[in-house]
């Protein structure tokens, strides 16, 4: 009878005892099953945090892709202006100044 009172104190109906016993037969001690159930809310929070982190990761990956694209464009622009700059420096080495150029 003490077990029944313990269940009632925890707001668990008496008819919840039979399924708990069945779970205990399959998965271990009732205390461990209750502990696992009490951690369920924490697991839901963890899953929610994981989902949020995945969203953040996707955002970072999109930003990284955009940055790589910008880097490629900058490299292309640098390559485009590099030859005229090199030619300008060569002409200056030959003695031509800004007024002649």
DSSP-assigned letters across all residues of 7-32 = HHHTT--GGGHHHHHHHHHHHS-HHH
Per cent of the chain over pLDDT 70 is: 86
Cα distances from 55 to residues 4, 43, 65, 69, 100, in angstroms, run: 46, 18, 15, 21, 58
State the pLDDT at residue 55.
95
State the pLDDT at residue 34.
75
Does the pTM of the predicted model rise above 0.75? no
User: Which tens digit of pLDDT belongs to each residue from 46-84?
Assistant: 889 999 999 999 999 999 999 999 999 999 999 999 988
φ, ψ (nearest 5 deg) of residue 96: -80, 140
State the pLDDT at residue 1.
46
**Of 94, 96, 68, nearest to 60 (Cα)?**
68
Domain ranges of the chain: 1-38, 54-96
**Pairwise pLDDT comparison (44 vs 20), residue with the higher score:** 44
Question: How far apart are alpha carbons 56 and 61 in whole angstroms?
Answer: 9
């Amino acid at each position: 009878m003490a077990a029944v009172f313990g269940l009632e104190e925890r707001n668990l109906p008496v008819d919840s005892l039979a399924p708990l016993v069945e779970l205990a037969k399959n998965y271990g001690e009732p205390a461990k099953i209750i502990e696992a159930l009490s951690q369920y809310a924490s697991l839901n929070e963890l899953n929610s945090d994981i989902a949020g982190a995945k969203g953040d990761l996707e955002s970072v990956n999109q930003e990284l892709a955009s940055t790589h694209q910008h880097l490629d464009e900058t490299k292309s622009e640098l390559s485009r202006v590099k030859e005229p700059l090199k030619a300008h420096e060569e002409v200056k080495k030959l003695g031509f100044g800004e007024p002649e150029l």
